[in-house]
Amino acid sequence: MCGIAGAFSKKSIDKVAMQKATDTLLHRGPDAGGYYLDKSEKVFLGHRRLSIIDLSDTANQPMFSADGRYVMVYNGEIYNFNELRVKLPDQKWKTHSDTEVILELFAKYGVDSLAWLNGMFAIAIYDQQTNKLFICRDQIGIKPIFYYRDETDLIFGSELKVIKDALKQFSKEKKLEINKEAIPHFLHLGFIPEPLTIFQKVYKFPSAHYGIIDTVSGKLELHKYWSAEKHFLQSPITSETEAFGKYKDILFEVVQSQMISDVPLGTFLSGGIDSSLVTSVASKLATQKVKTFSIGFHENKYDESPYAEAIAKHLNTEHQTFKVSVNDILELIPSLLEVYGEPFADSSAFPTMLVSRLARQKVTVTLSGDGGDEMFQGYGMYTWAKRLQNPLLKTFRTPVYHITQMMGNRYKRGGDLI
């Protein structure tokens, strides 16, 4: 997990200030840091690196293209980067990193190359010849990019703290104000959906989009380069047997592509369907025992670690369980506020942070079961959020509530929700 930062200003940029803002991402990228300021002092790019593929200094960022025209910072991982190398048969590669592949593809094919990338990514590329800055986010929006924009400045980063720190450093007259428009969305969904954030003039860069900033005019143009509607369900599978076979093939292909790493790798294992499936496939593909990690609770009513331990035993993994108490969770609250930067109501953030701390002692990269519930519509909260938007429900929610309170516990909970 690396971190990127950047800025464009119609005035000059204070490089030292932006370096400090970039270094707020040190926890994301402890292995190396790099900074770029163009000759006009109007464009800055910063990077904090967590080395995963090609650990050499040559693969550090910002990285310049072979022709010297483009400079790039990037956070993420491209799983098909080796396959994409064939599109550049005459290229003399300096590294075996995915970063160089992205950059040289862009140098030759431009924005069309972005749709070829299979992975998770947040990319910023500056064209020193045309003075245009390109920003791109992956198709599903796994890797974050936040950006602040006003009449003179555009500041972006992997976390909100980059923007907050940058404004403090070189734009002291500009203060972030709470975005009241975002609060109802948070209360309704439990998170703040893109493009909104908790701050005015600060936005989540949209997934599956790239943006072009003309650093002469200051104009920002957003373009969509991918859509799920066009990519999926072009030829629906109606046979259950065929669907299971296809899913298995895809699952093995995906897990194998995400196990490419020059550093130790493991998996998070909760004992649920998704993480157990990923760990099972990883165990079949790995040449040695897979390291697995889970969180357990001293309080039995919260503890699901026996399920994870049963799966680990079945798969013969090198398993570690980290037992915590409710007080350990409560102590995390201040640090989680710092990590997320805005309201976020998913309680799984607590065990995720704890298991990440445990895993980092042994490995640098972990696979997890994240995404399974989204793919298979397993989260009832989305369905309920849609139901609760019904105007009739808003009109009659008070009498409905009182009726449910005379019924069983399940109905009472429903009444509380309404």
Encode pLDDT of 102-114 as tens digits: 999 999 999 999 9
For the segment 359-364, the average pLDDT, to the nearest whole number, is 90
324, β-bridge pairs: 297
Angle between helix axes 160-170 and 15-22 (nearest 10 degrees) is 150
Contact between 195 and 206 (Cβ < 8 Å): yes
> Which has more pLDDT, 404 or 348?
404
At 413, phi and psi to the nearest 5?
Answer: -65, -40
CATH classification at residue 195: 3.60.20.10
Residue 395 above 90 pLDDT?
A: no
- Same-domain pairing of 208 and 119: yes
Encode pLDDT of 173-221 as tens digits: 778 999 999 999 999 888 999 999 999 999 999 999 999 999 988 899 9
Q: How far is CA 244 from CA 229, 240, 249, in A?
A: 22, 6, 9
- Same-domain pairing of 182 and 318: no
Q: Which of 229, 251, 274 is the last residue of a domain?
A: 229
The total number of structural domains in the chain stands at 3
Per-residue pLDDT at 171: 62
Contact between 85 and 147 (Cβ < 8 Å): no
Distance CA 173, CA 153 (A): 13
Q: Is residue 323 part of a domain?
A: yes
Residue 146 above 90 pLDDT?
A: yes
- Same-domain pairing of 60 and 134: yes
- Same-domain pairing of 75 and 218: yes
Distance CA 415, CA 418 (A): 5
- Same-domain pairing of 200 and 275: no
> Which has more pLDDT, 261 or 81?
81
Phi-psi sector, 271: left (phi>0), alpha (psi -120 to 50), beta: left
Distance CA 290, CA 136 (A): 33
Q: Is residue 261 part of a domain?
A: yes
Per-residue pLDDT at 55: 79
- Same-domain pairing of 213 and 253: no
Range of the domain at 288: 237-375
Distance of CA 52 to the CA centre of its chain: 16
For the segment 377-397, the average pLDDT, to the nearest whole number, is 79
Total residue count of the chain as it appears in this document: 418
CATH classification at residue 345: 3.40.50.620
- Same-domain pairing of 242 and 199: no
Q: Which of 160, 194, 229 is the last residue of a domain?
A: 229
For the segment 283-305, the average pLDDT, to the nearest whole number, is 90
Of 17-31, 351-365, 371-385, 390-404, least confident by mean pLDDT is 371-385
136 has catalytic annotation: no
Residue 82 above 80 pLDDT?
A: yes
For the segment 154-165, the average pLDDT, to the nearest whole number, is 95
The tally of CA atoms less than 13 A away on the side-chain side of residue 327 is 1
For the segment 368-376, the average pLDDT, to the nearest whole number, is 83
Q: Which of 206, 229, 252 is the last residue of a domain?
A: 229
Catalytic residue among 2, 72, 167, 265: 2
For the segment 236-253, the average pLDDT, to the nearest whole number, is 92
268, β-bridge pairs: 293
pTM: predicted TM-score of the whole model, two decimal places = 0.88
